[in-house]
Amino acid sequence: MSSAGPAIGFVGIGAMGAPMAGHLAQAGYPLVVFDADPARTRAFAARHSCRVAAALTELGEGSEIVITMLPDGRTVRKVLCGEGDTFKGCVAERLEPGAIVLDMSSSSPIGTRELGALLEGRGIQLVDAPVSGGVKRAVSAELAIMAGGDGGLLEACRPVLAKMGKQIFHAGPLGAGHAVKALNNYVSAAGLVAACEAVIAGRSFGLQPDAVVEILNASTGMNNTTKIKMKPFMLSGAYNAGFSTGLMAKDLRTALELAQAVGAPAPLARHCVELWNEMERRLGPGSDHTEMFRFLENLGENKGNRR
């Protein structure tokens, strides 16, 4: 370990990963980055002190901590373990025993436990540490981080995590962070749908949408969508909050799969998953998740036309 701290490899320099990795570079950590899109790493390196890896194996070589911020657990596993878990052409091919992987993506908790066992066989330790707060809080380094895995490992990584997040929770054993992240996004997505439905119904009744939002925010109906998303991203028509419909739908499916695996009742989750899956089909996975507002508007208009 250098005097500046552990050497960190960061995979995934996207909307969330770029500001997160940027905070680590600004803190002076020896940093090497990789992304499937070379233009992203070039742009990042132009702004920050770091090294760009030409391949995943190069990133793994010399990294003491590897952070993944990728779309899903399947991508994380392929990046770390290679195609078919061959450990060829991947990060873990050249990672030294004792290295730590922090998967900060939104992955399946069941898949995370499988990945942990695979990496453990090579002497590599895994902590799942997904985040909540979106791009805005990634930029301000105020993310909530929910970690699963060995508590001692988490404490060893806490100084690194603290450069990216304001609140760091130990959720439980390996996979617990990914489990609670999926459940959090389910609660968030369900609240988003309820807020959209309420504002659309209120407007149809003759209420001013801004007034509805202000009253909700002063009342018990307040939630993350009414406080943060409704006015700037939905009522404005901007629909650019920075989190895709595809990722939200994926997280909801993970939450439902978790509930079903443990036999927990989840009737609302089933309906919610169906709705987000339909939105993903109609608007495309790359649409912004705040476009649920216009998706529901269009549902109402279509029903009116059928009548």
Q: CA 272 from chain center: how many Å?
A: 19
Half-sphere exposure of 184 toward its Cβ, with a 13 Å CA cutoff? 17
The rounded distance, in Å, linking the Cα atoms of 230 and 233 is 6
Helix (H, G, I), strand (E, B) or coil at 238: coil
Q: What is the pLDDT of residue 83?
A: 96
Q: Tell me the helices (H) and strands (E) count for the chain, helix number first.
A: 13, 9
Type of residue found at 298 = N
Angle made by CA atoms 250, 256, 257, in degrees to the nearest 5: 85
Q: How many CB atoms lie within 10 A of CB 132?
A: 18
Half-sphere exposure of 146 toward its Cβ, with a 13 Å CA cutoff? 21
pLDDT in tens, the chain (307 residues): 555 789 999 999 999 999 999 999 999 999 999 999 999 999 999 999 999 999 999 999 999 999 999 999 999 999 999 999 999 999 999 999 999 999 999 999 999 999 999 999 999 999 999 999 989 999 999 999 999 999 999 999 999 999 999 999 999 999 999 999 999 999 999 999 999 999 999 999 999 999 999 999 999 999 999 999 999 999 999 999 989 999 999 999 999 999 999 999 999 999 999 999 999 999 999 999 999 999 999 997 766 544 4
The rounded distance, in Å, linking the Cα atoms of 181 and 107 is 9
**Burial class for 231, CB neighbours closer than 10 Å (0-12, 13-18, 19+):** middle
Query: How far apart, in Å, are the Cα atoms of 279 and each of 191, 245, 293?
Result: 16, 8, 10
Q: What is the pLDDT of residue 301?
A: 73
E strands, 135-242, where? 143-148, 165-172
List 145's β-bridge partners, or say none: 131, 168
The rounded distance, in Å, linking the Cα atoms of 299 and 301 is 6
Instruction: Give the domains, in start order, of the chain with CATH numbers.
Output: 8-173 (3.40.50.720), 180-306 (1.10.1040.10)
Asked if residue 80 lies in contact with residue 102, where contact means CB atoms within 8 angstroms, the answer is: no
For the whole prediction, is pTM greater than 0.95?
A: no
Q: What is the pLDDT of residue 142?
A: 97
List 132's β-bridge partners, or say none: 144
Q: What is the DSSP letter of 4?
A: T
Q: What is the pLDDT of residue 307?
A: 42
Q: What is the pLDDT of residue 306?
A: 43
Active centre residues (catalytic): 181
List 147's β-bridge partners, or say none: 170
Positive or negative, the CA dihedral 75, 102, 40, 60 is negative
